[in-house]
Amino acid sequence: MPLEQLEQKPGHLIRRAQQIAVAVFMEECAELDLTPVQYAALTAIGVQPGIDATRLSQLIALDRSTTGSVLERLEAKALVVREESREDRRIKLLRLSDAGRALLRKAEAPVQRAQQRIVAPLSAGDRKTFMRLLAQLVESNNALSRAPASGHPTDNTTWRRRIP
């Protein structure tokens, strides 16, 4: 197979786009010591304080093992606090620490810059089309994922709340 054929396959291009998106995010957020997955976890915990790790993994579409590792790193950085549930002591509920809330506020501008840089090569109209088609592709294929998202943010008005 010629290399040109590989470069025309959607899976290959999506993987390359993911690599680029992560690189841009990491560059913009370098001084924050924050990864895209950590940012997603902090954001979800911030808008849904008291969420448990299982629900968090469903919201941000990560497998439970990866979610556990991410939470360990966030807890080690004192950005997230785990507390026992009053109803079920086996469940640990998550909330942002003051440092976690401060980091999210500090991350707003660099994350926004990263998002803009990722789609900057596209015209304004193409950006809207790209985002619409990308969302359609992700939503239509969600069940095929090893970690499908459930309770998708677009279905949940609390997701849209601002971080205090």
Structural domain range at position 40: 3-160
Look up the CATH number of the domain holding residue 152. Answer: 1.10.10.10
Q: Is the dihedral of CA 94, 40, 100, 159 positive or negative?
A: negative
pLDDT value at residue 98: 98
- Dist CA 60 CA 27 (whole Å): 22
Question: What confidence tens digit (pLDDT) does each residue in 91-145 have?
Answer: 899 999 999 999 999 999 999 999 999 999 999 999 999 999 999 999 999 999 8
Question: What confidence tens digit (pLDDT) does each residue in 40-99 have?
Answer: 999 999 999 999 999 999 999 999 999 999 999 999 999 999 998 888 878 899 999 999
Q: Are 94 and 52 in contact (CB under 8 A)?
A: yes
Query: Taking Cα atoms as reference points, which of 42, 41, 98 lies closest to residue 67?
Result: 41
pLDDT-based confidence at 162, cuts 50/70/90?
A: very low
pLDDT value at residue 21: 97
Domain count, the chain: 1
pLDDT value at residue 112: 98
Query: Above 70 in pLDDT, residue 161?
Result: no
Model-level pTM?
A: 0.85
- Dist CA 42 CA 40 (whole Å): 6
